[in-house]
Amino acid sequence: MGALLDSPVFWSVSAALVATVIYLGIRFRLNRIHAGGSINSHEDDPYGGVQPRAIFGDSEEISLGERELLGEVFSELLSELCSGDDGLSDDEKHAIYSLLRDDLLLDSLLVQEMESAIQGEADRGASADEILSSFSAHQDLVRSNKVKILEGLLRVAYSDGTFDKPEVEFIHEVCEWFGISESDFSSYKTRYEVERLVLRLLNAITRLPESDVMKEGQRRLTALLETVHSPFLITVLGEFSAGKSSFLNALVKKRLLAMKVRPTTATITKLHYGTSSKLEVMYNSGEEKSFDRGDLHSLTVEQFVDEDKILDDIHYVSLEVEDEILRTIDFADTPGFNSSNAQHTEITTQFIAYSDAIIWLFDANQMAKKSTFDLIETHCKYQKPIGIINKVDQIDEDEIEIIDELKADLMPHTLATFPVSAKNALSPQASECQNAGMDAVREYLRSNVIPNASSQKTQVLLAKLMDIVLA
């Protein structure tokens, strides 16, 4: 399967299949608009006002010098990218302006100068190698920024609805110079095909009569659009009190998330890499606010919050953590299933749409039930979860065969299963930490998940898109 996922042909064929299905779906739905239906015209905007996710993230946190460097490299490469076309199309101009001004937040005058340079150089015909070898500044860019520049080039290339051979060849040269592999390029390329299709499908929905079905499709497509370029996200699921928060604390070797049965997690908490320990709340309204890390429990723990208000107001809480495993993967803690509060299940279920992979927590004191396997089948449609049997420290030595029995029961339902003691992993006693089982989990993530994160994310995106279209 790994060789297939690394194949550019696989991604091209998959994307073409998705494109065909979506096109037919849109035509079918548009043809069913009745005479009284409301149709909104977006002729000046092919995406109907829906904005794609910012490639360069929170540019306000990037220094002006770094933003200008990124803009300069980006504009130099754009000049050559656009030289393969018959001049710049209006869609390409719009995409370039949006990336330089709205995404990189560059000064308007500087953006105008760069746009003029791109327009003027578009017919020059220099090769990518010539541009890059004469432009030494790119050597100061870290890999993550090189990937963002590649993504910006892809967004512009796709903005006019085609990805021509000269554009493909040029971006291939850029990838080689930046040290970006063929499989990663294929994955990023497919993601932009997905992004463009999702944006156009969202636009098509705005032209249809309003209905609950259309609203649900719009919600699912919007969630999918948010995940296209976000970091690979593993969501931790499981039944209430299985030890999900304790497990994540043990994984990053820090006591961050509340770990008692009461209080319990009341909303989603995402862990992502960062050195500032910043805590941000993403509200359902789209607003974002920053808080001190000390406010984490007051925002996310049931004991301290109005549960109804949490569900209505907060989309998720995001916490920066300095841990190597988070450089490639984000993790999300969830309230879980089967608690006495139905809202826990609702919050958890809604967030699964943003996930690329699942870790499922099991309690070593409870044999897996059919209801648990039914939940796995429902919520892990695109890939089996990684199984974690937690609380093995609570099993007596003369009953250790219980763990082997549980592993055997879980084998058909999981990619791999690891018995752990999150409690012991966080113990100050070195001997308890060494035998807690967390090292095996970290090694599995480093060896099996991180190397395949890009291709796995793209595969899941395509599967989710097909699901939405065929629903």
Q: pLDDT tens-digit profile of 100-121?
A: 777 777 777 777 777 676 666 5
Residue with the bigger pLDDT between 420 and 368: it is 420
Q: CA–CA separation, 195 vs 51, rounded Å?
A: 10
The two beta strands, 288-291 and 232-238, are: unpaired
Q: CA–CA separation, 376 vs 142, rounded Å?
A: 39
143-159 and 165-178 are packed helices; what angle lies between their axes, rounded to 10 degrees?
Answer: 180
DSSP state of 440: H
Q: Nearest Cα to 335, choosing from 236, 246, 403?
A: 236
Residue range 84-91: mean pLDDT, rounded = 65
pTM: 0.76
pLDDT, position 369: 79
1-15, 406-420, 430-444: range with lowest mean pLDDT: 1-15
pLDDT at residue 383 greater than cutoff 70? yes
Read off the pLDDT of residues 269-283 as tens digits, 9 standing for 90 and up.
899 888 877 788 888
Residue 221: beta bridge partners?
none
Confidence of residue 305 (pLDDT cuts 50, 70, 90): very low
pLDDT, position 138: 53
Q: Which of 212-221, 280-289, 406-415 has the highest mean pLDDT?
A: 406-415
pLDDT, position 176: 82
Q: Nearest Cα to 129, choosing from 97, 70, 159, 169?
A: 169
pLDDT at residue 338 greater than cutoff 80? no
Residue range 343-351: mean pLDDT, rounded = 79
Residue range 370-393: mean pLDDT, rounded = 90
pLDDT, position 187: 84
pLDDT at residue 212 greater than cutoff 80? yes
CA terminus-to-terminus distance, the chain: 26
pLDDT, position 390: 92
Residue with the bigger pLDDT between 52 and 167: it is 167
Q: Which of 119-123, 217-221, 334-338, 355-359 has the highest mean pLDDT?
A: 355-359
Instruction: State the residue for tokens 């930490």.
Output: 433
pLDDT at residue 74 greater than cutoff 80? no
Asked whether 156 and 115 are in contact (CB, 8 A), the reply is no
Angle at 468 between CA 467 and CA 471, to 5 degrees: 80
- H-helix segments, 107-181: 108-121, 128-134, 143-159, 165-178
The two beta strands, 269-273 and 329-333, are: antiparallel
Confidence of residue 303 (pLDDT cuts 50, 70, 90): very low
Q: CA–CA separation, 459 vs 443, rounded Å?
A: 23
Average pLDDT, the chain: 75
What share of the chain in percent tops pLDDT 70? 69
Confidence of residue 42 (pLDDT cuts 50, 70, 90): very low
5-9, 104-108, 361-365, 394-398: range with lowest mean pLDDT: 5-9
pLDDT at residue 63 greater than cutoff 80? no
pLDDT, position 1: 44
Task: Find the length of the chain.
Answer: 471
Q: CA–CA separation, 286 vs 43, rounded Å?
A: 26
pLDDT at residue 291 greater than cutoff 60? yes
Residues ≥6 apart with Cβ < 8 Å to 325: 251, 252, 442, 445, 446, 450
pLDDT, position 266: 65
Residue with the bigger pLDDT between 266 and 235: it is 235
Residue range 405-423: mean pLDDT, rounded = 92
pLDDT at residue 417 greater than cutoff 90? yes
Question: 55-78 burial by CB neighbour count: b if 16+ within 10 A, else e?
Answer: bbeebeebeeebbbbbbbbbbbbb
pLDDT at residue 40 greater than cutoff 80? no
Q: Which of 105-109, 198-202, 286-290, 444-448 has the highest mean pLDDT?
A: 444-448
pLDDT, position 332: 93
Residue range 138-161: mean pLDDT, rounded = 75
Residue with the bigger pLDDT between 256 and 17: it is 256
Q: Which of 165-179, 250-264, 367-381 has the highest mean pLDDT?
A: 367-381
Indicate the Cα dihedral angle 187, 282, 292, 232, nearest 10°: -20
Residue range 206-217: mean pLDDT, rounded = 82
Q: CA–CA separation, 393 vs 400, rounded Å?
A: 10
Q: How many CB atoms lie within 10 A of CB 294?
A: 9
Read off the pLDDT of residues 309-321 as tens digits, 9 standing for 90 and up.
555 577 788 888 8
